[in-house]
């Protein structure tokens, strides 16, 4: 770990891999609070070096004029915690991106959607300490070095292969001190709960070419969304969550939450509109396959998966 201490607490050096909406917001909040944060950029590198990183937020706009910005990880220092905020479609690059950032105790926090991202990373890095991150936030990258935070903003984290939760507790403390709600949770349960929202709303906004508010306002769509939510809950409970099942009433909570959410295009709809590859593998294919291996058929979700794969083939 870094050798600096604040009030007897280890000061963590953070690396942000993928400084889009998620990495830009959470990394930006940590940096604004004075944390030691180092950002990897691709196309935005030159712009951010000259103009800084701007975040328009419902919690208050800010601009970081001085940013530890890099265009490759070989120029970066080793980090205590690496936040991977890439779209999961780019995870094959992690085998080459991550090694320069890692020391013996580095924790890699996969802030990505879907099921199986930690498992696949562990295959490439058997000794790596890995955690998962679930971002409950409405945010988009609107221009180079410019993030719009529209609603919510919580980050839940959970251990996949960390020896203990102490570093994750410190990450949450740092986030809380930076104005971000954060909590350490049991990872499998948290991932399935996130899928209850992600699976219906990401895919259906693409298939129906609309936004969350339009879906939730239509009675037929509400019925279909709710059916898929129940399917996700049942799949999680049958496969991973027998000891701590998700109650079926959670679907009603999610519907109610979305009714009061700022009208929003989820990340998959943004990718579709931009003609980019969509995160179908970890958000749809893996959950469907995993549930099937445990004897449960996610029939409605499997239909949505096939529709998304067809749409992807036409882009």
CA count, 13 A, side-chain hemisphere, 126? 0
Question: What superfamily does domain 13-185 belong to in CATH?
Answer: NAD(P)-binding Rossmann-like Domain (3.40.50.720)
CA 14, 18, 19, 24 torsion-angle sign: negative
d(CA 50, CA 73): 20
What pLDDT sits at residue 9? 53
Q: What is the DSSP letter of 306?
A: H
Alpha-carbon distance 43 to 157, whole Å?
28
Query: How far is Cα 208 from Cα 214, in angstroms, rounded to an integer?
Result: 10
- Shortest CA distance to 270 belongs to which of 167, 194, 201? 201
- Residue 5 has a pLDDT of 40
**4 has catalytic annotation:** no
Q: What are phi and psi of 6, to 5 degrees?
A: -125, 115
Which CATH entry fits the domain spanning 189-313: 3.40.190.10, 3.40.50.2000, 3.30.70.1450, 1.10.1040.10?
Answer: 1.10.1040.10
Three-state DSSP class for 164? Answer: coil
What are the start and end residues of each CATH 3.40.50.720 domain in the chain? Answer: 13-185
Choice among 92, 194, 275, 309 that is catalytic: 194
Residue ranges of the chain whose pLDDT lies below 70: 1-9
Global pTM value: 0.94
With 0-12 / 13-18 / 19 or more C-beta atoms within 10 angstroms meaning exposed / middle / buried, residue 125 is middle
Q: Which residues in the chain are classed under CATH 1.10.1040.10?
A: 189-313
Question: Phi and psi at residue 65, in whole multiples of 5°?
Answer: -75, -30
61-67: list long-range contacts, CB under 8 Å, 24+ apart.
Answer: 62/28, 62/32, 64/28, 64/31, 64/32, 67/31, 67/39
In this prediction, residue 6 carries a pLDDT of: 37
């Amino acid at each position: 770990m870094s050798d600096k201490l604040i009030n007897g607490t280890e000061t963590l050096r953070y690396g942000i891999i993928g400084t889009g909406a998620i990495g830009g917001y959470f990394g930006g909040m940590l940096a604004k609070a004075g944390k030691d944060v180092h950002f990897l950029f691709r196309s935005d590198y030159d712009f951010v070096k000259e103009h800084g990183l701007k975040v328009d937020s419902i919690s208050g706009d800010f601009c970081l004029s001085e940013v530890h910005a890099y265009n490759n990880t070989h120029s970066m220092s080793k980090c205590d915690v690496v936040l991977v905020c890439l779209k999961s479609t780019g995870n094959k690059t992690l085998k080459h991106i991550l090694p320069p950032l890692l020391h013996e105790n580095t924790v890699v926090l996969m802030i990505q959607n879907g099921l199986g991202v930690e498992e696949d990373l562990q295959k490439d890095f058997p000794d790596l300490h890995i955690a998962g991150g679930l971002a409950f936030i409405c945010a988009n990258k609107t221009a180079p070095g410019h993030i719009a935070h529209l609603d919510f903003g919580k980050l839940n984290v959970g251990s996949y292969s960390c020896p203990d939760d102490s570093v994750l507790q410190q990450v949450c403390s740092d986030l809380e001190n930076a104005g971000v709600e954060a909590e350490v949770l049991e990872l499998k349960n948290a991932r399935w709960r996130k899928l209850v929202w992600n699976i219906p709303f990401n895919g259906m906004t693409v298939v129906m070419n609309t936004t969350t508010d339009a879906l939730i306002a239509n009675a037929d769509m509400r019925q279909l969304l709710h059916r898929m939510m129940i399917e996700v809950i049942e799949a999680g409970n049958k496969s991973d969550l027998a000891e701590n099942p998700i109650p079926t009433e959670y679907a009603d909570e999610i519907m109610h939450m979305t009714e009061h959410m700022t009208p929003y295009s989820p990340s998959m709809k943004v990718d579709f509109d931009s003609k980019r590859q969509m995160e179908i593998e970890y958000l749809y294919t893996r959950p469907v396959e995993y549930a099937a291996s445990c004897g449960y058929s996610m029939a409605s979700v499997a239909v949505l998966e096939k529709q998304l794969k067809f749409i992807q083939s036409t882009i």
